[in-house]
């Protein structure tokens, strides 16, 4: 039986989006529709949810899941980086709340064809949007040792990046292209010294994370999305971001701090930066899932939620 995707930090999302007041809300990474269903259940009458996803298969699953709410939903096959354009085209340039969940869904991770998981044997794809040309297989088989090292370190913060990159290149030169996720996971494991494999989770976790971020240009996408999202909020509208990796969370945190008008000038000097706040931070420290939620949904353990309100 296929495990249904469980929305992470559902109660916290509903609290910070404040969707019970009604209005127009956006789930910018609709996925399988878990958060969207919760938002729709809690919205007041005559409210609207706009769901966006770049994964056509996920969008189809969400459409089935949300069928009873079809009069209150608009679903769009697009990237969250196009949020401003999507909202303008649908006639809602300003909305009351936006959610973006930067994690992959359970069904994406469990589908061997997608190549996201080091636990299953499948193609090295990792594209969220199948219309894109770059795949994990292309990176693994065409990048140099130096380029692979950079990907693994920059996007995965992998300590053994160079050793892993060298092992991959040596293997493809010896035996031909690396074609599947299990083969890659085994190569990564072999490259990491045995005593360092005993802690910190699966040895391939950081490399697979790095490949996913690189294939889908996710860090650049977040940088592109955040200003558009703030610009698309009514005064008093709210933006909630759920991140799972420190790289993503730091990027979001810094952006929110900048937009909250925090002065960057030395305390012993007159202010010359002339910053002014366009948002109020609702979560001074990132909110984390409860122990009870982590016990029910292990994938929630690394989630970090940050929320702001437009001024």
Tens-digit pLDDT profile for residues 195-237: 888 776 788 989 999 999 999 999 999 999 999 999 999 999 9
Region 97-109: mean pLDDT is 83
Q: Domain 10-107+218-310 sits in which CATH superfamily?
A: Vaccinia Virus protein VP39 (3.40.50.150)
The answer to whether the beta carbons of residues 40 and 241 sit under 8 Å apart is no
CA nearest 248: which of 287, 305, 294? 305
Rounded CA-CA distance 206/29 in Å is 22
Rounded CA-CA distance 120/19 in Å is 38
Tens-digit pLDDT profile for residues 287-310: 999 999 999 988 889 999 999 999
Rounded CA-CA distance 266/264 in Å is 7
Show the tokens assigned to 58. Answer: 């996920």
Cβ neighbours of 310 (radius 10 Å): 22
Rounded CA-CA distance 145/293 in Å is 40
Confidence band for 143, pLDDT divided at 50, 70 and 90: very high
CA nearest 112: which of 120, 104, 101? 120
- From its phi and psi, is residue 12 left (phi > 0), alpha (psi between -120 and 50) or beta? alpha
Rounded CA-CA distance 270/259 in Å is 20
Residues spanned by CATH 3.40.50.150 within the chain?
10-107+218-310
Alpha carbons within 13 angstroms on the beta-carbon side of residue 13 total 27
pTM of the model: 0.86
The answer to whether the beta carbons of residues 169 and 147 sit under 8 Å apart is no
Average pLDDT, the chain: 91
Residue where the block lists tokens 């909202």: 87
Confidence band for 126, pLDDT divided at 50, 70 and 90: very high
CATH class of 133-215: mainly alpha
Rounded CA-CA distance 277/262 in Å is 7
Dihedral of alpha carbons 135, 141, 120, 153, sign: negative
End-to-end CA distance of the chain: 46
Residues spanned by CATH 1.10.150.170 within the chain?
133-215
Sheet with 95-101, side-by-side order of all strands: 73-77, 48-53, 24-27, 95-101, 233-243, 304-310, 279-281
Region 136-150: mean pLDDT is 97
The confidence score (pLDDT) of residue 214 equals 95
Whether residue 116 has pLDDT greater than 70: yes
Tens-digit pLDDT profile for residues 13-54: 999 999 999 999 999 999 999 999 999 999 998 999 999 999
């Amino acid at each position: 039986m296929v495990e249904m995707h469980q929305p992470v930090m559902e109660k916290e999302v509903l609290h910070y989006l404040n969707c019970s007041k009604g209005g127009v809300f956006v789930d910018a990474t609709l996925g399988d529709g878990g958060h969207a269903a919760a938002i729709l259940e809690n919205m007041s009458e005559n409210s609207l949810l706009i769901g966006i996803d770049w994964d056509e298969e996920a969008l189809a699953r969400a459409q089935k899941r949300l069928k009873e709410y079809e009069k209150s939903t608009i679903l769009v096959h697009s990237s969250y980086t196009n949020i401003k354009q999507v909202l303008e085209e649908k006639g809602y340039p300003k909305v009351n709340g936006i959610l973006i969940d930067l994690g992959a869904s359970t069904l994406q991770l469990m589908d061997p064809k997608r190549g996201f998981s080091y636990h299953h044997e499948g193609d090295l794809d990792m594209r969220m949007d199948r219309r894109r040309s770059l795949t994990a297989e292309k990176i693994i088989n065409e990048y140099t040792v130096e380029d692979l090292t950079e990907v693994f370190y920059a996007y995965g913060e992998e300590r053994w990046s160079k050793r892993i990159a060298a092992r991959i290149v040596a293997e493809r030169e010896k035996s031909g292209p690396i074609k599947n996720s299990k083969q890659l996971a085994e190569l990564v494991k072999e490259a990491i010294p045995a005593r360092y494999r005993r802690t910190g989770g699966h040895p391939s976790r950081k490399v697979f994370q790095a490949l996913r971020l690189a294939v889908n240009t996710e860090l650049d996408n977040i940088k592109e999305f955040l200003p558009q999202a703030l610009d698309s909020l009514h005064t008093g509208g709210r933006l909630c971001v759920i991140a799972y990796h420190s790289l993503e969370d730091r990027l979001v945190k810094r952006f929110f701090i900048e937009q909250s008008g925090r002065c960057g000038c030395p305390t012993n000097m007159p202010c010359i930066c002339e910053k002014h706040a366009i948002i109020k931070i609702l979560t001074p420290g990132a909110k984390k899932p409860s122990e009870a939620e982590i016990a029910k949904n292990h994938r929630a353990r690394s989630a970090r939620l940050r929320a702001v309100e437009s001024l």
